[in-house]
Amino acid sequence: MINEMPEQFVEGLNEAAEQSYEDTLVITEFVGIGILYVPSLSYLLTRLEMMLAFGDIPPNGKLDVHVSSDYGLKPSDIELSSASLVPKKLQGDWNEIRVGPVSLVKGRRYWLIINPNRCRTALIKARKGSESTFCVKRAEIWTKAPEEFKGSVMIRFYGKIIPVSY
C-alpha cells in the first residue's frame, strides 16, 4: 500500500524565498554541517532539494548527505538515511537528493548533515526567511556553528504522507 502512494511536496524551509546568489555559507572547511529540521507533520521522507552552489569539482567529487536523529541539540551518531550527490553544475541551483524512505515524526528534531568531501560547496541563502540552526563538525566533534555562520537556507522536503485511521 505504501509503495502505491504518490510522492508529493510536503513542506520546505524558505522554499519560496528569493535566493541571494551573492550571499552564501561556504561549508567546504567543515567535515560536516548539520541543519536542524523539525517537521510540522509525520511522513515518510523520500527526497530533498537543496539550494547549493559549487566551485571546482574534483574528479569523482560528491557530497554525502545524511538524515540523523537529535542528541542534545546536536546530530546524533544514528544515521537514519544517507545518500550521495554528484554535483552537475557549478552555479547555484536546486539540487535533488534521494534519501530514505525514512519515517519522520511531527515535532521531533532531526538533522540534515552535509559532508562536502573537499568539494567547494556553499549553501545559497534566502534574502528573507526563517533563520536556520546549524552545527558544524570538525574532526569528530559536533559544535555550534561559528558566530558569522548565520542565514536562512532553502530546502524542499518530499515524501509520502501516511493516512492515519482511528
Distance between CA atoms of residues 130 and 29, nearest Å: 24
Query: According to the model, what pLDDT value does residue 22 have?
Result: 75
pTM: 0.90
Other C-beta atoms lying within 10 Å of the C-beta of residue 154: 25
Query: According to the model, what pLDDT value does residue 85 have?
Result: 87
For 114-127, what is each residue's pLDDT tens digit? 998 888 888 988 88
For 32-72, what is each residue's pLDDT tens digit? 999 999 999 999 999 999 999 888 777 778 889 999 999 99
Domain residue spans of the chain: 2-160
DSSP class per residue in the chain: -GGGSPPEEEEEESTTSPEEEEEEEE-TTSSEEEEEE--SS-EEEEEEEEEEEE-PPPTT--EEEEEEEESSSSEEEEEEEEEEE----SS-EEEEEEEEEEEE-TT--EEEEEE-TT--EEEEEESSSPPP-EEEEETTEEEEPPTT----B-EEEEEEPPP---
Q: What is the CATH number of domain 2-160?
A: 2.60.120
